[in-house]
Amino acid sequence: MTRGWTEHSGRALELAMENVDTDQIIPARFMSTPRSEGYAKYLFHDLRRDADGALLSTFPLNDHADATILITQRNFGTGSSREAAVYALADAGFRVIIAPSFGDIFAGNAVNNGVLPATVNEADIDALTASMAGQNADLIVSLETLTISCNSVRVPFALSDTWSLKLKNGWDDIDLTLQHTPEIQRFKEARREERPWAWPDVAR
């Protein structure tokens, strides 16, 4: 269960790479870790550390540990469905990811953990990063107005109503769905009646 929010303000960090897949966000070898142990230390593990595990000064995250907003390029979060990628970002403090496009499953996973995948076109991303240039400015992200502002620049982002509602309310889908239990039961019974073949033949 995540907490809902309507406005977030925080430092942004730019990761100027496209197609950052979930294997980059968190390599597969860390995914057996229980969530309670925290996933922050695995975020971008192989991008930000050398082979001996030492932090690379060249990787942007390594000197902006206070960032809560990530600005990146097209198709962020492509690849595997691992929700661990979102755990790593969320545990490291990120609340908002700004990109021109996202991997589908990643974006859904993000929303389920209270992290906003804000779809912003490339020109607007350039305007945002230009307005941040060289300054320690905060970005303000609003789920009410669906805009991101920095200094005098204000750009819109796309987000479906469904996801906006979930983020604002911090909804847990299971509770919501359980309210539909009678409807689900009726659907199941009708389906079973009409389409017995849709149930596995376990009497083999």
Partner 1 sequence: MNRANTLLDKLWETHEVHRRADGASLLWVDRHLVHEGSHHAFAKISERGAPVAEPGLTFAVVDHYAPTRRAARLPDPDIVRMIETLRTNAATHGLKIFDLDDPDQGIVHVVGPEQGLTLPGLLINCGDSHTSTHGAFGTLAFGVGATEVAHILATQTIWQRKPKAMRITIDGALGLGVSAKDIALNWIAKLGTGGAQGHCVEYAGSTVRNLSMEGRMTLCNLTIEGGGRMGLVAPDETTFAYVKDRPFAPRGSAWDAAIAEWAALHSDENAQFDKDITLSGDDIAPTATWGTSPEQALPISANLPDDKTAATIEALDYMGLKPGAPLAGTQIDQAFIGSCTNGRIEDLREAAAVLAGRKARVPGLVSPGSARVKTQAEQEGLDTVFKDAGLDWVSSGCSMCVGMNGDLVDPGKRCASSTNRNFKGRQGRGARTHLMSPAMVAAACVTGTITDVRPFLAGRTP
Render the burial of 144-180: b for 16+ CB within 10 Å, e for the rest.
eeeebbbeebbbebebeeebbebbeeebeeeeeeeee
Count of residues interacting with partner 1 (CB under 8 A)? 59
Per-residue binding string, partner 1, 104-143, x by CB under 8 A, is: xxx-xx--xx------------------------------
Q: Which two tokens stand for residue 19?
A: 């197609």
**Site membership for partner 1, residue 41 (CB under 8 A):** no
x-marked contacts with partner 1 along 165-194 as a string, rule CB under 8 A? x-------xx--xx-xx-xx--xx--x---
Please, what is the minimum distance in Å from the beta carbon of residue 202 to partner 1?
A: 7
> Which residue is associated with the tokens 């979102």?
86
| Number of residues written out for the chain | 204
Instruction: Report the alpha-carbon distance of residue 10 to residue 140 in Å, rounded.
Output: 7
Residue 95 sits in the site that holds partner 1 (CB under 8 A): no
**Eight-class DSSP state of 140:** E
Q: How far apart are the first and last CA of the chain?
A: 41
User: Contact residues for partner 1 (CB under 8 A)?
Assistant: 16-19, 21, 23-24, 27-29, 31-32, 34-35, 46, 51, 74-75, 78-84, 86, 101, 103-106, 108-109, 112-113, 160-162, 165, 173-174, 177-178, 180-181, 183-184, 187-188, 191, 195-202, 204
